[in-house]
Amino acid sequence: MKLIILLAFVSLAAVVAGDLVCGSDFCKKNPCVSSTQASSCAVPSVYRANHAGKCACCPACVTYLNEGSGCKTYSKELGETPSAVCKEPLKCLKGVCTKVAPRN
């Protein structure tokens, strides 16, 4: 039981820390200096206006991964920017793009 409470607390702290780092106006206060243009994305990549840099404020070319593809979870708060992400509504679970049942 203590482990469950500890895990819940750590998860909550991570969510709060993300809001504290990025906040709702982080990108306005810290404008992106990169200038990736939509026309620079080669197929199969697609342009995402908010994907790269700290708090995902900058544009980037991204490849969408299908179900079963290998993937990596990342932290936008740390400025990690994967060049490939799971196609919606898939989630990266244990390093694989996986279909997750919707919560009721």
pLDDT band per the 50, 70, 90 thresholds, residue 55? very high
Residue 23 is inside which H or E element, if any?
none
In a domain, 80, yes or no: yes
Cα 37 to Cα 71: distance, rounded to the nearest angstrom: 25
Q: What is the CATH number of the domain that holds 86?
A: 2.10.80.20
Which residue range forms the structural domain that includes residue 92?
39-104
The vertex-24 CA angle with 21 and 28, nearest 5°, equals: 95
Number of domains in the chain: 1
In a domain, 4, yes or no: no
The tens digit of pLDDT for each residue in 6-41 reads: 444 444 444 434 446 899 899 999 988 878 899 999
Contact 40, 61 (CB under 8 A): yes
Contact 49, 27 (CB under 8 A): no
Token representation of residue 35: 């200038």
In a domain, 100, yes or no: yes
pLDDT of residue 98: 97
Which range among 2-11, 31-40, 47-56, 89-98 shows the weakest confidence by mean pLDDT?
Answer: 2-11
